[in-house]
Amino acid sequence: MTAQYQGDEQARFPSPHEFALPRISIAEALEQNWLDIWYQPKIDLRRKCLAGAEALVRLQHPQAGSLWPEDYIGLLDNDGLAKLVEHTIVTSLRHWTVFSAAGFNLRLAINMPAALLPELPIATLIAAHRPASEGWPGIVLDVTEDQLVRDIALTRKIAEELKAHGVAVAIDDFGAGYSSFSSLRGLPFAELKIHRSFIKNCAADVTNAAICQTAIDWRIGLVAWPSPKGSTRLPTFRH
């Protein structure tokens, strides 16, 4: 079982740029080198070790300052999103070599909209930029449940095709999309990331605890890793 570390929700305070953001152009951001990729660690709770990391893109805007993904993603059109995801995939593949040289063989995860799965040449990107090392564990593409269930058959087809290229698909924010377990059963996904609303206080909230346990038991039975998302509290991890 893996847990995804997320900073405490109370630790981040609103800044002025969140209320009046400038127009964001990913093409300009790439040209001006405004994009930084930060890696959020994922912890294996059973083995108590680093299990992977998720790539999160920060945009360092000259006027607005450091922008988190939620600050600017909603301002991008489909073409801008595609350029951002492609940049993140290619850069993460290059960064894996840096992690590996430091002794960390991590499978890196990248967030992307489900609509881009059939549009982006993901297999081609991987073939062109993947590390040469035989120890490369592949990458994970995180797709939110609410987007994934709009066309489960297509997602299943693409996920199966990408397997051969070392690409796995994870269901992100599970529980927020209100899909049934049976509708997701045939999907070849590697991880199930439980929505933070169910993880929060699950050590004390019996309803949330029951929901999390059901999701974990179901996914373990299908041979993949459930991942409680968004919690930093030790009692929750222990539960």
| Element holding 4 (H helix, E strand) | strand 2-4
Mean pLDDT of all residues in 72-100:
93
Quote the DSSP letter at residue 176: S
pLDDT higher for 234 or 168? 168
pLDDT of residue 217: 65
| Burial group, residue 203, by CB count within 10 angstroms (0-12, 13-18, 19+) | middle
Mean pLDDT of all residues in 37-60:
90
Q: 235: pLDDT confidence band, cut at 50, 70 and 90? A: very low
Query: Residues with Cβ < 8 Å from 217, sequence gap 6 or more?
Result: none
pLDDT of residue 37: 96
Residue 116: is its pLDDT beyond 80?
yes
Number of folded domains that form the chain: 1
Mean pLDDT of all residues in 104-123:
92
Structure tokens belonging to residue 169: 């698909």
Q: How many CA atoms lie within 13 A of 134 on its CB side?
A: 0
Q: For 3-29, what is each residue's pLDDT tens digit? A: 443 444 444 444 444 456 667 889 999
pLDDT of residue 232: 44
pLDDT of residue 103: 94
pLDDT higher for 72 or 232? 72
Structure tokens belonging to residue 73: 């993603």
Give the SS3 label for residue 166. coil
Please state at what angle helix 122-129 crosses helix 78-101, rounded to 10 degrees: 30
What percent of the chain stands above pLDDT 70? 66
Identify the weakest region by mean pLDDT among 109-113, 128-132, 183-187. Answer: 183-187
Query: Residues with Cβ < 8 Å from 101, sequence gap 6 or more?
Result: none
Residue 227: is its pLDDT beyond 80?
no
Measured distance CA(239)–CA(42) in Å, rounded: 17
Measured distance CA(228)–CA(178) in Å, rounded: 17
Structure tokens belonging to residue 92: 């993460």
pLDDT of residue 124: 95
Q: 51: pLDDT confidence band, cut at 50, 70 and 90? A: confident
Residue 171: is its pLDDT beyond 90?
no
Q: 225: pLDDT confidence band, cut at 50, 70 and 90? A: very low
Q: How many CA atoms lie within 13 A of 104 on its CB side?
A: 17
Task: State the pTM of this model.
Answer: 0.75
What's the CATH code of the domain at 90?
3.20.20.450
Q: Are strands 49-61 and 65-67 parallel, antiparallel or unpaired?
A: antiparallel
pLDDT of residue 208: 64
Q: Are strands 49-61 and 35-44 parallel, antiparallel or unpaired?
A: antiparallel
Range of the domain at 111: 2-238
Contact in structure between 107 and 52 (CB atoms under 8 Å):
yes
Mean pLDDT of all residues in 188-213:
69
Structure tokens belonging to residue 101: 């040289």
Mean pLDDT of all residues in 110-119:
90
pLDDT of residue 35: 95
